[in-house]
Amino acid sequence: MVKQKKAPKVNLKQIEKIIAGYRGQRWPLIPMVEEIQEKVGYIPPESIPVIANALGLFTSQVQAVITFYEQLYTEPRGRNIVRVCRGTACHVRGGKTILKLVRQHLGIEEGETTEDMEYTLETVACIGVCALAPNIMFNQETHGDMNPKKVARLFEKSGKE
């Protein structure tokens, strides 16, 4: 796969295809935007009028729902999502330092995405494996007992120096 240097252009055609499956009803707003996010990676703001029109909702209403839910995003996200746990157990075991290291490695703050669209950094409140604290989730994988070395290795492995 050729790595893109910039955010991909919004493919409204693809989105319209997804929307077509739901047209004419009002209830499927959430499943629809989830499907868009799954396939496109996020919900492009440009698609809000199209969604609203298809479901007979106001554009502002669609935005209200999307911005209400934390798991719905209106900005492009990186190919990899890094979630650093900031729960109590992880905090006690140095989660704060782990977060600082990850920030240094990626050169971005929480909630941001690297310019090459490779990583998005987020924090979470707890991922439920406190016994392994401090924890990081790298996409769907959980990495426990994190320390500076392991953080470095994690990002080397995935292509970042």
Partner 1 sequence: MEAVTITLNGVEVSGYAGTTILDLARESGVYIPTLCHDPNLASTGACRLCLVEDERNGALLASCVAAISPGMTINTNSPRVVEHRKRILELILASHPDSCLVCDKGNRCQLRKLAAEMGVGLIQLQKIPQNDVIEEVNPFIERDLSKCVMCGKCIRVDQELVVEGAIDYIHRGTMVRAATLNDMPLEKSECTFCGACVAICPTGAIMEKERVYTGTATNTVTTICPYCGCGCTICLGTKDNQIVEARPAVDSPVSRGALCVRGSYGYDFIHSPERLTQPLIKVDGEFQEATWEEALSRVAEGLGQIKKDHGADALAVFGSSKCTNEENYVLQRFARGVLGTNNIDNGSRLYSAASRTGLGASIGYAGTTGSLDALERSRVIMVIGANPEISAPAVAYAIKRAVRFKEAKLIVIDPRNTPLTQFASLWLRPGIGTDVALLNGLARVIIDEKRLDVEFVTRMTDNFTGWTKSLQNYTAGYVEDVTGIAKKDVQAAARLLAGAEEASIVYGNGITQHTSGTDAVVAIANLAMLTGNAGRRGGIFALQRENNAHGACDMGALPGFLPGYQSVDEAENRQRFEEHWGGSLPTAAGLSALEMMKAAGLGKVKGMLIMGENPVASFPQPALIRKALSSLDFLVVTDMFPTETVKLASVVLSAASFAEKEGTFTNFEGRVQRLHQAIEPVGESLPDLEILLRLAEVTGSKMPYDSHQDVMEEIEDMVPFYRHVAYADTDSMGLDWGDVEGSSPGTRRLHKGLFPSGFGRFSPVEYTSPQDVATDGYPLTLMAGSGRYHFGAGSRSSRSARLSKFSPAALLEISGADAAELGIGDGDAIKITSAQGELSTTTKVSNSLPRGLLFMPISYPDSPVYELFGTVLDPQAKGPALKTCAVRLERTDGNG
Q: Which residues form the interface with partner 1 (CB under 8 A)?
A: 45, 48-49, 53, 56-61, 63-64, 67-68
Q: How far is the CB of 147 from partner 1 (least distance, A)?
A: 34
Query: What interhelical angle do 12-20 and 48-55 show, nearest 10?
Result: 20
Name the residue type at position 89: A
**C-alpha to C-alpha distance for 75 and 73, rounded to whole angstroms:** 6
Q: How far is the CB of 150 from partner 1 (least distance, A)?
A: 34
Largest CA distance in the chain: 54
The smaller minimum CB distance to partner 1, of residues 30 and 64, is found at 64
Q: How far is the CB of 119 from partner 1 (least distance, A)?
A: 24
The smaller minimum CB distance to partner 1, of residues 49 and 107, is found at 49
Tokens describing residue 139:
């996409």
The smaller minimum CB distance to partner 1, of residues 18 and 62, is found at 62
The smaller minimum CB distance to partner 1, of residues 32 and 54, is found at 54
The smaller minimum CB distance to partner 1, of residues 53 and 142, is found at 53
Residue 98: φ, ψ to 5°? -60, -45
Alpha helices, DSSP H only, in the chain? 12-20, 29-40, 48-55, 59-68, 88-92, 95-106, 148-157
CA angle 1, 154, 74 (to 5 degrees): 60
Q: How far is the CB of 26 from partner 1 (least distance, A)?
A: 10
**C-alpha to C-alpha distance for 154 and 48, rounded to whole angstroms:** 37
Q: How far is the CB of 85 from partner 1 (least distance, A)?
A: 21
